Structure 1
């Protein structure tokens, strides 16, 4: 890969303990604050890796203006996307630990030192996280509708099974830019999945706690910007992508999971209690958990249907479901006819539209719901163009 690069001089005998990675894209107005917050850490044994992903603003000029010798900066010649850019940086890391900071967020001065102390003291831990302040562009605690997320990252510590249960029932609750992880964790688990745009960190945390315990420092050590323009901002496009990605995440949620961790996290939700935990029974419990209990039920059910189809050829799985859970393949057929994406698509296709509605001279009563939405989008696009023309 050809890169425009600013590289610091770092002696081989003075390798950093921590590699701080900062993926940059179109955050020229924020990235100086992010970089300064790293350079201002009380802990100093780090290298700072920054990769600008062909930002259309002047982010690269801002990055290049820093001369601290701990900085290694790269400018991509083609856009890698947010996950691809992050993975690129992690592959350049030379430290024992990897920390992530978004280019529009900031750390408080003691953040890195406190986390390194935790990981050094507890070698079994795979990663350490912190609480965070959610702030607006002026650095003030957010207010308005976004304020409901103020406490989402203020989590207690849990066992691996308890973390999985929380993820499964309530979703993500870990602040991504608070991460400090051992580099060997990613060498074991692999990097973030670039196919996931909305939820690559959520997928990573699930994979992480399946294999390693984690620790959360219960102190706000990150200022996490929420300005409505983040990847996590609520929009129809992001919401649709969330649901699609959750199907894939739930589909592998219980894979490569030890029986002990699964039982620790989920046994109180088992349909059959007080019986030996055979492999077929555990697989059955995973099926019913996905069918009934995932925090986004539509995505969980879709994953449950896929799991059943994969497992139903196993005679013992089929027998246990039939004889012990009173659930047969015919019950499954009934579910596939009444739920899942096939059902939702049929419902959307057959949804009626009021006869009085008309768009572009076309009666909506003759349109499917999908085509009606398409025509509405056309009208909205025309309105936006007209507003831009008027305001120009």
Structure 2
């Protein structure tokens, strides 16, 4: 019997997007899947729509009356889910149909110390309808050094996690959007692996939290300070502090916005078309930092101010 996979969709003011996210989970070629959608006190019609979709499709909907923030919502859903594996889908993004099947199959080939399996992803640009496949380096095994020296190379919407990872590591609710910084915590305890396939699409639109450059920069600096203050951090990793992506201030007017990163030549390579064939995988990726998503900020955005 296949292991149960829990999919968590954190939602805030995404009534115009949430149905596509939900439909992409319902369309997975894998079963069984447990879907949990948590609305975090949205001010638009999200709660009513989610409630209606939950009654129609039979998934679990949690409608918080007030906004508590991304970290609280994700931890709340983790306390409810029952799957052996879990993944997080922002409410404005979507999965491709074979994502869960491919990643569970890869987990079956890994040992118990592998806690994360990610994949390739694409970005849909709402302003002009373009879809670009984003090519970032792929690393497997013990990846903490790569995450520190290179920055986040795990395409944000793609990972599948062992549920036990979050019995050991939780999201820090003091951040507006801890996002991919969680990978650093997990890499202290677990190995990572990947599938070479394109498995998910992120939506680029004006309200992306990652475009709040000042917020992302403040939270990045704070997160790196906390990370390098962790007791027991390996000396080889601690020596990489000067090379960490948050160690230097970004140029004015740049930061988390992909358009700004592209302007200064630090965006991962992207090709038009989500249907494009994935680039060949590489066990040993270039060490050059080409501008991944910031360590803090993308998982379940946006949260309320």
CA RMSD across the alignment? 2.5
Q: Counterparts of 2:64 and 2:2 in 1: how far apart (Å)? A: 25
Shift of 1:84: 1.5
Q: Judging changes above 3 Å, is the alpha-carbon distance between structure 1 residues 139 and 210 closer, same or farther for their aligned structure 2 residues?
A: farther
Q: Judging changes above 3 Å, is the alpha-carbon distance between structure 1 residues 111 and 15 closer, same or farther for their aligned structure 2 residues?
A: closer
Counterpart in the other structure of 1:214: 192
Shift of 1:297: 2.9
Q: Counterparts of 2:188 and 2:87 in 1: how far apart (Å)? A: 20
Shift of 1:201: 2.3
Output aligned runs, 1:187-198, within 5 Å. Answer: 187-189=167-169, 191-198=170-177
Gaps of 5+ in 2: 250-305
Q: Is 1:127 equivalent to 2:116 in the alignment?
A: yes
Counterpart in the other structure of 1:159: 141
Higher helix share: 1
Counterpart in the other structure of 1:243: 217
**What secondary structure does 1:65 align onto?**
helix
Counterpart in the other structure of 2:25: 38
Counterpart in the other structure of 1:176: 156
CA contact (8 A) 2:149 2:240 kept: no
Q: Is 1:52 equivalent to 2:31 in the alignment?
A: no
**What secondary structure does 2:207 align onto?**
coil
Higher strand share: 2
Gaps of 5+ in 1: 1-13, 267-285, 300-392
Q: Is 1:223 equivalent to 2:206 in the alignment?
A: no
Q: Counterparts of 2:127 and 2:26 in 1: how far apart (Å)? A: 21
Q: Counterparts of 2:190 and 2:154 in 1: how far apart (Å)? A: 15
Q: Which protein, 1 or 2, shows the higher relative CO under an 8 Å CA cutoff with sep ≥ 6?
A: 2
Runs of 4+ off more than 6 Å: none
Q: Is 1:23 equivalent to 2:10 in the alignment?
A: yes
Larger radius of gyration: 1
Counterpart pick for 2:244 among 283, 294, 301: 294
Q: Counterparts of 1:202 and 1:37 in 2: how far apart (Å)? A: 22
Counterpart in the other structure of 1:79: 67
Q: Judging changes above 3 Å, is the alpha-carbon distance between structure 1 residues 45 and 131 closer, same or farther for their aligned structure 2 residues?
A: same
Q: Is 1:61 equivalent to 2:44 in the alignment?
A: no
Q: Counterparts of 2:109 and 2:58 in 1: how far apart (Å)? A: 26
Shift of 1:118: 1.4
Q: Counterparts of 1:293 and 1:113 in 2: how far apart (Å)? A: 36
Q: Judging changes above 3 Å, is the alpha-carbon distance between structure 1 residues 138 and 61 closer, same or farther for their aligned structure 2 residues?
A: farther
Counterpart in the other structure of 1:108: 96
Shift of 1:21: 0.5
CA contact (8 A) 1:16 1:94 kept: no
Aligned residues: 246
Q: Counterparts of 2:156 and 2:128 in 1: how far apart (Å)? A: 18
CA contact (8 A) 2:121 2:157 kept: no
CA contact (8 A) 2:94 2:201 kept: yes
**TM score, norm. by length of structure 1:** 0.57
Output aligned runs, 1:4-15, within 5 Å. Answer: none
CA contact (8 A) 2:4 2:84 kept: yes
Deviations 1:2-57 (CA, angstroms, capped at 9, x unpaired): xxxxxxxxxxxx99711110011111111111111000100020111011112111
